[in-house]
């Protein structure tokens, strides 16, 4: 019999209660497309007519957002390609609560317009009391662009040659700054820049001195640099881009600058990221002199760079809520990871999976703390599992090393261990 005559009609398949529910969650076009793809499998003889609804249900995403949740088993805590910081439960709940109409820009007592995101800004200022004012834009690069545009358009920005960094995807600091209409005045050399180098470069056209933490690389050996404290004595505004988003000192990351200390050292403006060590949503945090912050906030470009209500809600929950997944992943002990990994290993071995347990090293990632190594343990599988695990229903992303696929549980929530086991078994 012609297989095309056996293909169930679309309206019959769509009557399946599971697909009706999916229409309400995902929209009719997406569900209809999944049904059509399953029908094509029947026409090609690769699926029986009775399995069309099941195949369509299995092919549908869990949400209409398009982004698929992934288990990060790479051992990279802040993995840029996987969205950097995973949000805490508190931050996720805050996003859901803010998804409808909110008082983001209204005082409910007076019924009048109020400062946008005032509670999130208050939480940020409370977290860094040394800041006279705070402002939030959509990422760290945007914060630097706003500062350069407002303070140095048509003027000069003095920056050390050793701090002319390249950030992700080929974007370079000099290109970013020059796009604002500012001119760069490079001082010093790649490995050594002194306070005198900055002093000699200051002139009537100087907008500010930029101090950049080169967070994604290290220069060692015959090196020197002028500190923020030294630069602050030059009577020229000092803008410090600390990058990582560390708001206060952290003994685990002794070489990472933090916003509080940098402000106390005399920086007029500190720039940091929200989705790195802070563990929150993508955002550019600006902290510093109240007059300077207000000048940035009132600049026309600030409107184009402002964050939405969802980011404000997630940021506030991150600042005031419980320990973030990033904080926990950085501090989970190697012994705890070994215990969890052994438990997973035993379950996989019972099913005949070729898996071993190996010592490994995890890293911070996100362009931060390049010298910090986190002792860890990993499950080692044959390399052939890599693609299959990345493309299964619950994608698992590991790390390839020495011809093997390593799965490090450091960034996998303990409650997701079952999901990881199920994913491996599903592709075995």
Tens digit of each residue's pLDDT (9 = 90 or more) over 266-297: 999 999 999 999 999 999 999 999 999 999 99
Residues 138 and 282: beta-carbon distance below 8 Å: yes
Total H helices, total E strands in the chain: 18, 16
Helices (H), 80-183: 89-98, 118-127, 140-152, 173-178
Compute the residue count for the chain: 428
* Cα 288 off chain centre by: 23
- The answer, yes or no, to whether residue 366 has pLDDT greater than 80, is yes
**Structural Rg of the chain based on CA atoms:** 26
- The answer, yes or no, to whether residue 206 has pLDDT greater than 90, is yes
Encode pLDDT of 125-149 as tens digits: 999 999 999 999 999 999 999 999 9
Across 385-403, average pLDDT: 94
- The answer, yes or no, to whether residue 59 has pLDDT greater than 60, is yes
- The answer, yes or no, to whether residue 171 has pLDDT greater than 80, is no
| Domain locations in the chain as residue ranges | 3-59, 71-84+327-427, 89-322
Q: What residue has token string 């090393």?
A: 401
Looking only at the bridges linking them, the beta strands covering 269-273 and 238-243 are parallel
Could you give the strand order of the β-sheet that contains 76-78, starting from the edge strand earlier in sequence? Answer: 76-78, 356-365, 368-382, 404-408, 399-401
Q: What is the pLDDT of residue 215?
A: 61
Decide: residue 334, CB within 10 A, 0-12 exposed, 13-18 middle, 19+ buried.
Answer: middle
* Intrachain domains 71-84+327-427 and 89-322 with the same fold: no
Token pair recorded at residue 208: 């500010």
Nearest-CA neighbor of 268 among 227, 214, 208? 208
Across 394-417, average pLDDT: 96
Q: Which residues contact 311 (CB under 8 A, 6 or more apart)?
A: 136, 138, 274, 281, 282, 283
How far is Cα 213 from Cα 165, in angstroms, rounded to an integer?
9
Token pair recorded at residue 140: 């760290």
Q: What is the pLDDT of residue 218?
A: 67
Q: What is the pLDDT of residue 326?
A: 97
Q: What is the pLDDT of residue 216?
A: 58
How far is Cα 202 from Cα 83, in angstroms, rounded to an integer?
40
Encode pLDDT of 3-24 as tens digits: 556 889 999 999 999 999 999 9
pTM for the whole structure: 0.89
Across 401-415, average pLDDT: 96
Q: Which residues contact 424 (CB under 8 A, 6 or more apart)?
A: 348, 353, 355, 381, 385, 389, 396
How far is Cα 42 from Cα 150, in angstroms, rounded to an integer?
62
Token pair recorded at residue 347: 């379950």
Helices (H), 242-379: 259-264, 290-297, 300-305, 309-320, 325-331, 334-350
Model confidence band, residue 307 (pLDDT cutoffs 50, 70, 90): very high
Beta bridge partners of 46: none
How far is Cα 16 from Cα 51, in angstroms, rounded to an integer?
12
Q: What is the pLDDT of residue 387?
A: 96
Across 387-404, average pLDDT: 94
Encode pLDDT of 23-34 as tens digits: 999 999 999 999
Q: For domain 89-322, which CATH number applies: 1.10.3720.10, 2.30.30.90, 3.40.640.10, 3.40.720.10?
A: 3.40.640.10
Q: Which residues contact 47 (CB under 8 A, 6 or more apart)?
A: 38, 41, 55
Encode pLDDT of 215-231 as tens digits: 656 676 777 889 999 99
Please, what CATH class does the domain formed by 71-84+327-427 belong to? alpha beta
How far is Cα 353 from Cα 309, in angstroms, rounded to an integer?
46
Residues 240 and 232: beta-carbon distance below 8 Å: no
Q: What is the pLDDT of residue 190?
A: 82
- The answer, yes or no, to whether residue 1 has pLDDT greater than 60, is no
Encode pLDDT of 61-78 as tens digits: 878 877 889 999 999 999
Q: What is the pLDDT of residue 426?
A: 92
Higher-confidence residue: 407 or 189?
A: 407
Across 100-115, average pLDDT: 95
Across 142-169, average pLDDT: 90
Q: What is the pLDDT of residue 255?
A: 87
């Amino acid at each position: 019999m012609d297989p095309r005559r056996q293909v169930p009609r679309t309206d019959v398949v769509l009557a399946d209660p599971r697909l009706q529910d999916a229409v309400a969650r995902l929209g009719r076009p997406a569900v209809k497309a999944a049904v059509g793809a399953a029908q094509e499998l029947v026409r090609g003889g690769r699926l029986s007519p009775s399995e069309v609804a099941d195949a369509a249900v299995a092919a549908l995403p869990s949400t209409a957002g398009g982004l698929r949740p992934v288990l990060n088993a790479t051992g990279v805590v802040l993995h840029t390609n996987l969205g950097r910081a995973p949000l805490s439960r508190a931050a996720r709940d805050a996003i859901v609560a803010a998804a409808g109409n909110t008082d983001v820009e209204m005082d409910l007592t007076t019924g009048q317009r109020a400062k946008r995101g005032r509670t999130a800004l208050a939480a940020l200022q409370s977290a860094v009391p040394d800041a006279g004012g705070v402002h939030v834009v959509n990422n760290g690069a945007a914060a630097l662009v706003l500062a350069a545009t407002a303070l140095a358009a048509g003027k000069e920005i003095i920056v050390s040659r050793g701090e002319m960094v390249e950030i992700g995807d080929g974007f370079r600091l000099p290109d970013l700054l020059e796009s604002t209409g500012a001119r760069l005045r490079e001082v010093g050399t790649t490995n050594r820049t002194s306070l005198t180098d900055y002093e000699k470069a200051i002139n009537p056209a100087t907008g500010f001195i930029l101090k950049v933490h080169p967070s994604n690389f290290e220069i060692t050996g015959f090196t020197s640099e002028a500190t923020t404290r030294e630069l602050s004595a030059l009577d020229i505004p000092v803008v410090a881009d600390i990058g990582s988003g560390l708001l206060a000192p952290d003994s685990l990351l002794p070489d990472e600058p933090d916003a509080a200390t940098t402000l106390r050292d005399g920086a007029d403006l500190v720039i940091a990221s929200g989705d790195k060590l802070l563990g929150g949503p993508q955002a550019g945090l600006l902290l510093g002199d109240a007059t300077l912050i207000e000048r940035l906030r009132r600049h026309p470009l600030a409107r184009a760079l402002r964050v939405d209500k969802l980011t404000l809600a997630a940021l506030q929950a991150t600042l005031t809520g419980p320990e973030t997944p990033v904080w926990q992943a950085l501090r989970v002990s190697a012994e705890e990871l070994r215990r969890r990994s052994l438990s997973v290993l035993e379950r996989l071995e019972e099913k005949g999976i070729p898996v071993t347990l190996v010592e490994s090293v995890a890293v911070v990632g996100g362009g931060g703390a390049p010298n910090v190594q986190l002792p860890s343990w990993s499950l080692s599988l044959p390399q052939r599992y890599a693609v299959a695990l990345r493309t299964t229903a619950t994608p698992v992303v590991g790390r390839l090393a020495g011809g093997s696929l390593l799965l490090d549980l450091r960034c996998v929530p303990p409650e997701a261990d079952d999901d990881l086991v199920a994913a491996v078994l599903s592709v075995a």
